[in-house]
Amino acid sequence: MTDDHWKHGDALPHASAAQAPLQVPMKRPRSDHGDVPGGLEYVGYHPHEEGRVGCHVIRDTKSIDAAYERYLRNRQIVLYGGGESVRPVAGGMGGRPVDDMHMMGVGVMDGQSVGYGSGRSEMPLPPDASSTLYVEGLPANCTRREVSHIFRPFAGFREIRLVNKDSRFPGGDPFVLCFVDFSNPSQAAAALDALQGYKFDMLDQDSANLRLQFARFPGPRSAGRPRGSY
DNA sequence: AGCACA
C-alpha cells in the first residue's frame, strides 16, 4: 500500500534525506540492525536494493540453520547411538575396547566422564549381548537409588534390581549384584562400554570399580516387551 | 569368582 513510494527507489539515502524528510515513516526499520523478528521481512523489503544486506542476512540464516541441523543430528547420534536403528548384528570382534572410549574423549566435561552412548556405533554387538546387564563390584552398602543414578541417563534404561549375595567360600564378604534392564541389547552394550571400570568411589581408586557383563538369562522382565505391558 | 526377577 503506502510502501510503494520507497519500494520504487526514491528511498535512496541521498534522495530521501534531501527532499522528503517528512514522509519518512517513523516505523521504518533501519536495515542495518533488525528489530524485526525473523529476517524474512528483509528479503521482501528490498529485493533489488544492493542485494548486499539481504544476501548477508540470508547467508547468515542459512549457516545458522545448517549448524543447528548438524547440532541436532549430532545430538541424535549421541543420545540414540546404538539405539533402535541398530547396525547389522554380526558378531565380529566381541572384545570391549574400553580404551577407545577415552580416546574418543566423549563428554569428559568435569571428571566424571560418562560417554552416553559413545562413538561405538560401528562396533557390532557381541553375540552374547542381551538387554540386561549384570553388574558387580558394587560396594555392599550401596543403595538402589544410588545405582539408579548411574544408569538412568543412558538411552533405553528401563529398570534396575539389586541382589545381595553371600560369598561362596567361608570368610568371604557378602557382595551386591545388580541387574539393569534396557530396551534393547544395543543400548545395554552402550552402557556396558561406557561404565566398564567405572569408579564407583571416586576417591577409593582400588576397591570400587564396576565390572559389567551381559546377563546370562535376561529373563521375563527384560524380554524386550513394550513398555506399557505390566 | 560369584547371575535374580518372573
Model confidence pLDDT, tens digit, residues A105-154: 444 444 444 444 455 667 789 999 999 999 999 998 899 999 999 999 99
Give per-residue pLDDT as tens, A161-194. Answer: 999 999 888 888 889 999 999 999 999 999 999 9
| pLDDT surpasses 90 at A210 | yes
Specify the CATH class of A98-222 in words.
Answer: alpha beta
Tally of helices (H runs) and strands (E runs) in chain A: 7, 4
A86's grid cell: 541398530
A138's grid cell: 558394587
A179 three-state secondary structure: strand
Lowest mean pLDDT among A38-42, A88-92, A219-223: A88-92
- Is the C-beta atom of A207 closer than 7 angstroms to strand B? no
The H or E element spanning position A165 is strand A157-165
CA distance A48 to A166: 82
Is the pTM above the cut of 0.85? Answer: no
In whole angstroms, B6 C1' to A74 CA is: 39
What positions of strand B are covered by protein, i.e. any atom < 7 Å from a CB? 1-6
- Is the C-beta atom of A208 closer than 7 angstroms to strand B? no
* CATH 3.30.70.330 domain span(s) along chain A: 98-222
